[in-house]
Structure 1
Amino acid sequence: MREDPCRRFAYGITIENTNLRLWLSNRAFLAVTEPINFLSDFDNVISLFYLFGSITDVGLGWDPTIERISIQDETHYRFSLHHKDRLMTFTTIRPIATYGADSMVGRGTRVYEARDDDTGKTVAL
């Protein structure tokens, strides 16, 4: 989540010996399950992987209002915002400040110089 502004939250799975844990991280908290033995509790492990295989991208933590795009071999982002029944899109030009996203728990603030795709004006986003 620190590296990718397209993420709202992330799941993780760790396995240590025969213990499996599920992790959930978002900007408000980090949660971890009690360990389960994946060798003896394989019905739940199969269910877990089945659920992860059938969940949508939004359910996996991807923000549908942000699109990663490539312009001249550089990564930029297109933000789609609804304002007064109007869809506005902005494409980032360069990051101004991303240090707020370094913390695992916190606001995750990023500021970009961006271009309004409708007017061509440069704005801070």
Structure 2
Amino acid sequence: MGADSAVKFSDKHLLSEDYHSHYKADINGLLTKTTAVPPIAEGVEYECDVLMTGELKKKSTPDTVDDVEILSNATHIMSADPTRRFMFGLTIDKFNILLWFFSRSHVFVTEEMNLHIDAKNLIYFAPPLSGACREALGYDPTVRRVQGTNGADPRYIFTIDGKQYITTEAITVRKAKFLLGCATRVFKIQQVLNDEGELE
């Protein structure tokens, strides 16, 4: 808990650390302290900090259920970031809202709620996000992103049975076409001997 896990909201284009076009959503819930690795541009916001993606429709469409955008955005974030276990979503359709939970194995969505009648449900949802630890916000505590050498892509340190291993090369990184689809990543690794990052 604290400043690194506090949440801010943004509708900016976000920068990706991966080789694909920038993600764009109507609403983003972001960590205030980035998990991106240097060099970090001033004022830039990153996809790796999105813990909640949202879509806003100013006109109500009661007879149409169009969840393609929010599902596509959640798939994009989850497939691009090995440090994720789950994330949240929010759809606002004029006065109606849906709250979402996306993981790699299942998706939950609430029944439609009216902002005028059920505002308390949104109030119950928002404050816990702003005070939660990163693990409760969907980040895997056994994986962390670190800076690559000589300006290389980010590397990842995995903690397994109390030992730490850093990725040195991606052998294969397959992106999931669907949120619940397969997305196998295989890395070459080295064991990290201490917190200073010395390798075996």
TM range (shorter): 0.7 to 0.9
Choose between structure 1 and 2 for higher RCO, CA contacts under 8 A separated by at least 6 residues: 1
Who is 1:10 aligned against?
A: 87
Query: TM-score w.r.t. structure 2 length?
Result: 0.53
Asked if residue 99 in structure 1 is aligned to residue 174 in structure 2, the reply is yes
SS of residue paired to 2:146: strand
State the alpha-carbon separation in 1 of the partners of residues 170 and 155 from structure 2. 9
Deviation at 1:52, TM superposition (A): 1.6
**Does the C-alpha gap of structure 1 residues 70 and 64 become closer, same or farther in structure 2, counting only changes over 3 Å?**
same
Deviation at 1:98, TM superposition (A): 1.8
State the alpha-carbon separation in 1 of the partners of residues 172 and 156 from structure 2. 15
Aligned match of 1:50 in 127, 140, 144? 127
Return 5+ residue gaps in structure 2 as ranges.
1-77
Deviation at 1:55, TM superposition (A): 2.1
State the alpha-carbon separation in 2 of the partners of residues 101 and 67 from structure 1. 21
Query: TM-score w.r.t. structure 1 length?
Result: 0.81
Query: Which digits, 9 at most, give the CA deviation of each residue in 1:59-118, with x for residues without a partner?
Result: 111001101011233311011111xxxx21111112112215443104532111112223
Asked if residue 29 in structure 1 is aligned to residue 86 in structure 2, the reply is no
Who is 2:117 aligned against?
A: 40
Number of equivalences = 117
Aligned match of 1:61 in 107, 128, 138? 138
> What RMSD, in angstroms, separates the aligned Cα atoms of the two structures?
2.0
Who is 2:156 aligned against?
A: 77
Who is 2:163 aligned against?
A: 88
Contact 1:27 1:108 in 2 (8 A): no
SS of residue paired to 2:139: coil
Q: Which structure has greater helix proportion?
A: 2
Contact 2:80 2:175 in 1 (8 A): no
Aligned match of 1:109 in 163, 172, 184? 184
Contact 1:101 1:110 in 2 (8 A): no
State the alpha-carbon separation in 2 of the partners of residues 21 and 66 from structure 1. 30
SS of residue paired to 2:168: strand
Question: Structure 1 runs of 4+ off > 6 angstroms?
Answer: none
